[in-house]
Amino acid sequence: MRKALALILALCMILVLAACSKSETPSSGSDTPASSGDAPTEKTDTIKKFDNPVTVTFWNGWTGPDGELLKQLVDEYNTKNQKNVTVDMDCMQFASLQEKLATAIASDTCPNLHLGFAVGEYQMRHIYIPIDDIFTKTVLRKEDFVPEILQACTADDGHIYGIPFQVTSQFVYWNKDLFKQAGLDPDKGVETWEDVITAAKAIDALGGNITGGGFDTSATGTVGAMINGYGGEIIAADDELGYKCVVTDPAYIDANKQALDVWYRYTHETNILQNGNLEEGYGAGVVGMLFGGAWQTANAKDHNINYGISLLPKGPKGQIQPGAPVSIDVMKGTSGDKYDACLDFIAYWNDNETNPIREKAPAYDWSLKQAYQPYLITVANDPTMVNDETFKVTNEYQKYVKNPYPANFWNGYQLGTAYIKPMIEAIAHDTATIDEALATCQKDIDIMIEDDMYEMERSLGLRE
């Protein structure tokens, strides 16, 4: 019964999304993304200057060093664009953003633009709207993008629900000077998760205010990669529900426990900093290692840290890197001039060849200055990028990418913040054993999946 219901749900979702694309998106082109083998199309811009000023609201959670660059690039668009458009951007902490978005979604007062994941919860609930016609209304072309990255923004119904904004993963940053002082190889860093514990202890031994490393319990992708690197899993496909939690499944529980035991020892056997204090300590030159996204490159450079960067440590099952493209998405309720203005801003961000505002696209600066993996082919092939030492490392992540949940899992953000984060916090702070934390995580995610399925079925009229 449940399997049949899931099939009905999938068919209904396709119909609803197709109807949504026709009613909410003023489409003027093909609904189906072109394959990578399509012939190049002409660059055309059909969005002319608006008769009246248009203000586009843009919400995101970029509040770190990368947020400052984002503000500069948005200000540049506001100052120099000739379309009579202003982007009113609001950057806030992710927790605040999620609360504010929940209220806006419930009251149909969504912002026009949002940085998120094109395919997933918001797409399935049709909170994001399709933007296929961006390739006929603006100078952007499908062949400008790395096919795999653009495909990740394309849902099963064939529609594009966002355009890539950045691609990133998690990396190890280390202080070469502290490694050398501790008798460690400053050019090698750490290769395995066990090496992390060994190196942290050696740096701790330097004494004073020096510490080997630290952890941020918001970096659930790093712990997810650790779990996958040991052969464990968190979410798996399921014929009946679509997805199921497997943290205590007999096929994965031993590997999950192995990984979390390493997490336990790292957070208990070394003198480490937590969360926000970690980034500050690394910038001050007193932290030996930092797990973080590519934005930490700017942190290291801004503070003149003699740093090294590598992919995450390997587990027994090999190298695993989390990573999915963050996309810039148009939210429901956006139409008319505001919709076209959104497309114009997205084109500004990604036009690396004929940009009327700047010599190279903001996406170029974003990759070069923040070490994000380029998703535009012209940026990836740019000699400056190819010869950049940090990019040479971060670019390698795509060979090993595996997220701790399937790409189309509709509630990835909630999975990390509401369930994985409490699990690893409980282990780090001794409020639960590993077995207890896994059992709680399993129970809570089971409820989440059941509740989400219920809400989706109800929104489609399959339940009262």
Residue 389 neighbours by CB under 8 Å, 6+ apart: none
Q: DSSP per residue over 76-120, as a string?
A: HHHHH-SSSEEEEEEE--HHHHHHHHHHHHHTT---SEEEE-SSS
With beta carbons less than 8 A apart as the criterion, state whether 217 and 421 touch.
Answer: yes
Question: Does residue 413 form part of some domain?
Answer: no
pLDDT the model gives residue 350: 97
264-316 residue pLDDT tens: 999 999 888 777 688 899 999 999 999 988 878 888 989 999 999 999 999 99
244 HSE (CA, 13 A, CB side): 9
With beta carbons less than 8 A apart as the criterion, state whether 101 and 95 touch.
Answer: no
Question: Does residue 17 form part of some domain?
Answer: no
CA distance readout (Å), 357 to 50, 139, 328, 339, 353: 17, 13, 19, 20, 11
- Distance of alpha carbon 330 from alpha carbon 131, whole angstroms: 8
78-116 residue pLDDT tens: 999 999 999 999 999 988 998 999 999 999 999 999 999
CA atoms 137, 68, 176, 319: torsion sign:
negative
Are residue 176 and residue 253 in the same domain, yes or no?
A: yes
Angle formed by the axes of helices 2-24 and 434-459, to 10°?
A: 60
With beta carbons less than 8 A apart as the criterion, state whether 228 and 317 touch.
Answer: yes
Are residue 187 and residue 289 in the same domain, yes or no?
A: yes
Strands 113-116, 54-60: pairing is parallel
Residue 118 has pLDDT above 60, yes or no: yes
Question: Does residue 408 form part of some domain?
Answer: no
pLDDT the model gives residue 8: 33
Domains of the chain: total: 2
130-157 residue pLDDT tens: 999 999 999 999 999 988 889 889 887 8
Domain that holds residue 182: 171-321+433-459
Are residue 159 and residue 198 in the same domain, yes or no?
A: no
Instruction: State mean pLDDT over 368-391.
Output: 87
Instruction: State mean pLDDT over 46-63.
Output: 96
Q: Which of 154-158, 410-414, 447-451 has the lowest mean pLDDT?
A: 410-414
Instruction: State mean pLDDT over 380-405.
Output: 85
- Rg of the chain over Cα atoms, rounded to whole angstroms, equals 23
412-434 residue pLDDT tens: 767 888 899 999 999 999 999 99
pLDDT the model gives residue 271: 83
Spell out where 317-386 has E strands: 324-330
Residue 1 has pLDDT above 70, yes or no: no
Query: Which of residues 376, 400, 424 is at a domain's end?
Result: 400
pLDDT band at 6 (very low <50, low <70, confident <90, very high): very low
Query: Which of residues 377, 400, 423 is at a domain's end?
Result: 400
Are residue 156 and residue 141 in the same domain, yes or no?
A: yes
Question: Does residue 23 form part of some domain?
Answer: no
CATH code assigned at 279 = 3.40.190.10
Burial tier of 63 (Cβ tally within 10 Å: 0-12, 13-18, 19+):
middle
CA atoms 137, 143, 145, 148: torsion sign:
positive
Residue 40 has pLDDT above 70, yes or no: no
Strand-pairing partners, residue 163, are: 328
Percent of the chain's residues with pLDDT above 90:
60
pTM of the model: 0.74
431-444 residue pLDDT tens: 999 999 999 999 99
- Distance of alpha carbon 294 from alpha carbon 396, whole angstroms: 13
Give the end-to-end CA distance of the chain in Å, rounded to a whole number: 18
Instruction: State mean pLDDT over 48-75.
Output: 94
Residue 275 neighbours by CB under 8 Å, 6+ apart: 215, 216, 217, 218
Which stretches within 230-335 are classed as H helix?
253-269, 276-283, 296-302
Are residue 330 and residue 310 in the same domain, yes or no?
A: no
With beta carbons less than 8 A apart as the criterion, state whether 97 and 59 touch.
Answer: yes
- What is the pLDDT of the chain when averaged over all its residues? 86
Tokens matching residue 291: 């797990």
Question: Does residue 428 form part of some domain?
Answer: no
Question: Does residue 305 form part of some domain?
Answer: yes
Question: Does residue 262 form part of some domain?
Answer: yes
Are residue 56 and residue 188 in the same domain, yes or no?
A: no
Are residue 179 and residue 298 in the same domain, yes or no?
A: yes
Are residue 147 and residue 83 in the same domain, yes or no?
A: yes
Question: Does residue 206 form part of some domain?
Answer: yes
pLDDT the model gives residue 17: 34
Are residue 181 and residue 301 in the same domain, yes or no?
A: yes
Are residue 293 and residue 439 in the same domain, yes or no?
A: yes
* Phi, psi values for residue 113, rounded to 5°: -120, 145
pLDDT the model gives residue 464: 60
Instruction: State mean pLDDT over 370-386.
Output: 88
| Segment holding 383, helix H or strand E | helix 383-386
Tokens matching residue 420: 């994985």
| Segment holding 349, helix H or strand E | helix 336-350
216-262 residue pLDDT tens: 888 888 999 999 999 999 998 887 777 899 999 999 999 999 999 99
Are residue 64 and residue 208 in the same domain, yes or no?
A: no
Q: What size, in residues, is the chain?
A: 464
Q: Name the one residue in this structure whose structure tokens are 């909630």.
A: 414
pLDDT the model gives residue 410: 63
Are residue 216 and residue 163 in the same domain, yes or no?
A: no
pLDDT the model gives residue 123: 86
Task: Write the single-letter amino acid at 178.
Answer: L
